[in-house]
A and B are shown apart, each in its own frame.
Chain A
């Protein structure tokens, strides 16, 4: 939706005048994704009511089907503010080769930096990471999504008759860090799948120690999915994890210095919040950067309705935003 609006395929503008800095593209196959993740709008077992085709969304928005050439042409014409394009694979036997083909086209015909949001399940060796780099990508995203092996297994693996394997995801991550370099690989993690804050921060630290940054998402129930009625995480919880991620990924501190209560809730960041430099940046969307060093994958309103308080700020939060965030950060409602 955001890319479609930016490319003038769909009408509309972003709240607060925000502009999209990266195109997120999803490769489409008629026979769809072969995975069955319980929270995902692409899950092959998702139930879309026939009477409500508008419910056929992914991350709660429409994804119009558009040719690659049209995207390139429109990006050139309508969106000089774009810095990056991200090619998202789905779990499909053709998606790896198709992703490479599309990346090469963007490499040859645009100035955009290129990311690959890869599907480790259809990859089997380190050489494939090399092929992605040769096709033009300089950064990689891996949507691990779940913070613990147990949740991963229950929501993405054999617990839902799905094909994904926790250890294989981390193996592919290690290959990618070797090929692309430390800091050039990011994991996607969804806050609110049933993990504790301690477990979430532990996986962020684990990725950091292995050379990967973390890109946070706040769970948003996808209608018709197995978790369509699941609640979103509280703002307090999300803010604490955002700040912990910032501290860890910016190497201002690490998990060893943080404290948690008996419910696994973060109670102490290991440093005074007011001493954290550029604190407001902690609450911005985390994602692949553009050539200017600023996050390009800014995903405006990707985690909430625009009428609700923003979870991931696609822009530098203003003073009133920071005030709101700081009022939320020590709320313990869960």
Chain B
């Protein structure tokens, strides 16, 4: 676990970053579970709605949306594959994602190719990569 700008990022998983996405990925038995990282939940605020609209997914495609009282954004898939499970508890009670972002997976995806699934320049995993990425994101926010 590392902490950057007051936000925690466990190192037991990877992070998808393309186009401002803040999605964590965790591989369990050839299935990739994904969720929102601490940066995403902090920026969005208290979540009110989570929606998943796709089943067959491609890396970088919007698969649904997340919404708070004052903000809405799309949820992106980090990999190609098929959504095989949705965390209905999180869908019904989105605030659990705010409370425990890393315990609250959103969907489970069966990758088309598990060998290549995490092999992307947009997927980070090391402490140095994550720290640098979040620092850049904070700087971007300050400049906005």
Could you say which residues of chain A place their CB within 8 Å of the CB of B112?
Answer: none
Query: Interface size class for chain A?
Result: 10 to 19
Q: Give a binary string over B62-91; 1 marks a CB under 8 Å from any A CB, 0 the rest.
A: 000101111110000000000000000000
B114 beta carbon closer than 8 Å to chain A: no
B72, A305: Cβ atoms closer than 8 Å = yes
B46 beta carbon closer than 8 Å to chain A: yes
Shortest Cβ distance from A307 into B: residue:
B72
Q: Known interface pairs A12-B43, A12-B44, A54-B95. Does A1 touch B49 (Cβ–Cβ under 8 Å)?
A: no
A94 beta carbon closer than 8 Å to chain B: no
B46, A305: Cβ atoms closer than 8 Å = no
Q: Give a binary string over B38-57; 1 marks a CB under 8 Å from any A CB, 0 the rest.
A: 00011111101100000000
Q: Which residue, A12, A60, A62, A300, has most C-beta atoms of chain B within 10 A?
A: A12
A11, B95: Cβ atoms closer than 8 Å = no
Could you say which residues of chain A place their CB within 8 Å of the CB of B95?
Answer: 54
B144 beta carbon closer than 8 Å to chain A: yes
B68, A12: Cβ atoms closer than 8 Å = yes
Q: Give a binary string over A279-316; 1 marks a CB under 8 Å from any B CB, 0 the rest.
A: 00000000000000000000011000111000000000
Could you say which residues of chain A place their CB within 8 Å of the CB of B144?
Answer: 17
Shortest Cβ distance from B43 into A: residue:
A13
Minimum distance in angstroms from B39 CB to a CB of chain A: 10
B72, A12: Cβ atoms closer than 8 Å = no
Minimum distance in angstroms from B134 CB to a CB of chain A: 15
Could you say which residues of chain A place their CB within 8 Å of the CB of B98?
Answer: 11
When chains A and B are docked, how far (Å) is the Cα of A201 from the Cα of B95?
A: 40
A271 beta carbon closer than 8 Å to chain B: no
A61 beta carbon closer than 8 Å to chain B: yes
Question: Which 7 pairs, one residue from A and one from B, show the smallest C-beta to C-beta distance?
Answer: A12-B45, A306-B72, A307-B72, A11-B42, A61-B69, A15-B71, A301-B70
A interface list, Cβ under 8 A from B: 1-2, 5, 10-15, 17, 54, 60-62, 300-301, 305-307
